[in-house]
Amino acid sequence: MTPAADPAVATHLAEVQQRIRAAESRFGREPGSVALLAVSKRQSAGAIRAAQAAGQLAFGENYLQEALAKMADLADLPLEWHFIGEIQSNKTRQIAAHFRWVHGLADAHHAERLSRQRPPGLPPLKACLQINVSGEATKNGVPPEAATALLAACRQLPGLEVVGLMAMPAPAVGEAAQRQPFLALRQLRDRLASPDCPLRELSMGMSDDLEAAIAEGATLVRIGTAIFGARA
């Protein structure tokens, strides 16, 4: 066990919650309709413990081995773990076993492995399809024109529930420029959604652009630096 340290985490967490609530209000979103995922990659188990003590339950991790070590350290806490890193074939078994969500699903082969490897006792793994909406910061994600085929390949798989779309646009300056790729993701979602696959979740928005993402319909923002400070 690591000690719950750093009272700054609780302060920063409250500030981020306040930013989310303010953006919901400013953009006419339902109060409480935007969930906060605390991105804890390269942060200590102690920092996660501090955030949990302040009420945060959902945490996002990018690196499998690092995440598994922290999960073991924090096994006494009722946390919800989201894998937000790049999925690799040799990692799918442990991702399927240890996480509740994956955000970066961009490959039908990975989806098939996650489906097959999801342990039978667990609820379906929630998945967001990662879309490269416009000049993404990383090369991850499928281009919008490939989304229909990817969704068709993923949605019939047992053990996997496609709940929405995810994007990680290149950093942009100013709210208008930031909103553009988020709008594109929402419009793509609206085109792909159907009554039996409503794709309710839009995983978009980070520390520097969460307001723009909420303006365009984010249901989950992924926030690291603004909660935990700079990464090691």
Ligand X SMILES: *Cc1c(COP(=O)(O)O)cnc(C)c1O
- Judged by beta carbon, residue 112 or residue 136, the one nearer ligand X is 136
CB 164 within 8 A of CB 213: no
Report which residue's Cβ sits closest to ligand X.
224
What is the Cα–Cα distance from 218 to 181, expressed in whole angstroms? Answer: 12
- Judged by beta carbon, residue 21 or residue 116, the one nearer ligand X is 21
- Judged by beta carbon, residue 41 or residue 70, the one nearer ligand X is 41
- Judged by beta carbon, residue 72 or residue 230, the one nearer ligand X is 230
Q: Residues binding ligand X: what is the number (CB under 6 A)?
A: 12
To ligand X, the closest distance from the beta carbon of 156 in angstroms equals 26
Q: Which of residues 21-60 bind ligand X (CB under 6 A)?
A: 39, 41
- Judged by beta carbon, residue 105 or residue 168, the one nearer ligand X is 168
To ligand X, the closest distance from the beta carbon of 101 in angstroms equals 12
- Judged by beta carbon, residue 103 or residue 186, the one nearer ligand X is 103
How far apart, in Å, are the Cα atoms of 180 and each of 26, 135, 149, 176, 209?
18, 11, 24, 7, 11
Stretch that binds ligand X, among 28-36, 90-98, 187-195, 217-225 (CB under 6 A): 217-225
Question: Is residue 222 near ligand X by the rule CB under 6 A?
Answer: yes
Find where tokens 């690291």 sit: 224
Residue 174 burial by Cβ neighbours in a 10 Å radius (0-12, 13-18, 19+): exposed
Could you please report the per-residue DSSP string of 92-110? Answer: HHHHHHH-SEEEEE--HHH
Stretch that binds ligand X, among 16-24, 114-122, 149-157, 222-230 (CB under 6 A): 222-230
To ligand X, the closest distance from the beta carbon of 39 in angstroms equals 4
Q: Which of residues 51-110 bind ligand X (CB under 6 A)?
A: 62, 84
Residue 208 burial by Cβ neighbours in a 10 Å radius (0-12, 13-18, 19+): middle
What is the Cα–Cα distance from 29 to 62, expressed in whole angstroms? Answer: 29
What is the Cα–Cα distance from 19 to 6, expressed in whole angstroms? Answer: 21
Q: Note the residues at the interface with ligand X (CB under 6 A).
A: 39, 41, 62, 84, 168, 206-207, 222-226
